[in-house]
Amino acid sequence: STSITWDLSWSTALLGTNYTTNYYSYPSITQDSSGRIWVIARYSDGTKYWIKARRSLNPNSVSSWESTTYELSDSSNTSGVVFPGIIPLSNNKVYAFWYRHNAIEGKLFDGTNWNSNVTNIATTWTDSYLGIPSGLADSNDKIYLAYSSVSLL
């Protein structure tokens, strides 16, 4: 028999102030190789949407979080069709990816810092829930993303 243990000692990783401005939605969570928890989500100020992430202060615990909230994508997107994901890699690295407007983009955390540039991975459906990617990495840190695309004849 297998059992699941739930950690009920938690604190809020990404906190907004209301549901029309300054709010988070569509969260994703992972654990890096050091045991620290990462939470990534879509953030909105009420008119624009972008991706933010935060890391737990201690391994195997969500009772406290680093003071820094990382802004991963630019804040120019006015379409609410923005959905993030995050993948654990080796050596405390993680890879964040997201669907934004009509593009799949990503950014690497190298174990210490986030890369300064966003990587444009693919172009897909415009403002559609059909383009939302899912991803994983193999034991060699090779990243695989699955998403639907459109082909115009």
Question: For the chain, what is the mean pLDDT?
Answer: 89
Q: Which residue has the higher pLDDT, 28 or 152?
A: 28
Query: Is pLDDT of 4 > 80?
Result: no
10 Cβ neighbours under 8 A, 6+ residues apart: 62, 63
pLDDT digit string, tens, across residues 54-98: 999 999 999 899 999 999 998 888 888 899 999 999 999 999 999
Looking at residue 1, what is its pLDDT? 53
Confidence grade of residue 112 (pLDDT, cut at 50, 70, 90): very high
The model's pTM is 0.89
Looking at residue 9, what is its pLDDT? 67
Query: Is pLDDT of 134 > 90?
Result: yes
Q: Are the CB atoms for 68 and 56 separated by under 8 Å? A: no
How far from 46 is each of 24, 62, 82, CA to CA, in Å? 11, 28, 14
Among the listed ranges 31-40, 100-109, 126-135, which one has the minimum average pLDDT value?
A: 126-135
Q: Collapsing DSSP states into helix, strand and coil, what is residue 62?
A: strand
Looking at residue 151, what is its pLDDT? 61
E-strand spans in the chain?
23-31, 37-44, 49-55, 70-71, 82-88, 94-100, 103-109, 119-123, 134-137, 143-146
Judged on CB neighbours under 10 Å (0-12, 13-18, 19+), 109 is buried
Looking at residue 13, what is its pLDDT? 82
Q: Which residue has the higher pLDDT, 81 or 142?
A: 142
- Give residue for tokens 């009420």: 46
Looking at residue 49, what is its pLDDT? 93
